[in-house]
Amino acid sequence: MPNVPALILAAGFGTRFGSDKRRATLVDGRTLLAASLERAQAVFDEVHVVLRPEDDPAALGLPEGCNIILCKDAGQGMGHSLAAGARALGDGGGEAIAVLLGDMPWIAESSLRALIAKAAPGHIVFPVHHDERGHPVLFGREFWPELQQLTGDEGARRVLRAHASAWVAVDVDDPGVLRDVDSPAALRAEG
């Protein structure tokens, strides 16, 4: 399997949720962010979480020793968080970076493995469920310099649009690739 470190973006403010959704708990008592992290750790050998400097990882339910990347510009948008993560991983190994969102704990491990299997330095790999593109997105090493320069709140959409010829869509029978938690009702829907 290709060497693919995972980057969980969790430095946002989740204003639509009404409170810090990263601390919201699932039925089993884990925080939303901890559940997303555990899912990634079950598949990826290397997992990093992007947080704000003022965050307390323990209060977010993260275990000691978790790989944390701090983004001082997180308040300026997801692009800044993704850039901070890509810069932190830039000197490491890896054929691709898997960019996951901290509010998507229901992605099947089999989907993550299917995406990793297609990773390559010149590929941008993403899942498709019922003709809808989902998460995570795996960016091959060739695209890391562009990720490192991102700003604003658009995330990596600009990089995706600029490199459609590098897209590798992986069909999955997994609604979890589309399910994020933007409201308490979305969190309860799983329970």
Cα(156)–Cα(162) distance, rounded to whole angstroms? 10
What pTM does this model have?
Answer: 0.93
Query: Cα–Cα distances in Å, from 40 out to 10, 18, 49, 100, 167?
Result: 13, 26, 10, 8, 22
Which ranges in the chain belong to alpha helices (H)?
32-41, 78-89, 109-118, 144-147, 157-162, 184-188
Give per-residue pLDDT as tens, 68-126.
999 999 888 889 999 999 999 988 889 999 999 999 999 999 999 999 999 999 999 99
pLDDT band at 27 (very low <50, low <70, confident <90, very high): confident
Cα(125)–Cα(7) distance, rounded to whole angstroms? 15
74 alpha carbon, distance to own chain's centre: 15
CB atoms inside a 10 Å sphere around CB 139: 29
N- to C-terminal Cα separation, the chain:
34
At 133 the pLDDT is 96
177 contacts 39 by C-beta, under 8 angstroms: no
The architecture in CATH of the region 6-188 reads Alpha-Beta Complex (3.90)
At 183 the pLDDT is 66
At 191 the pLDDT is 45
Domain boundaries, the chain: 6-188
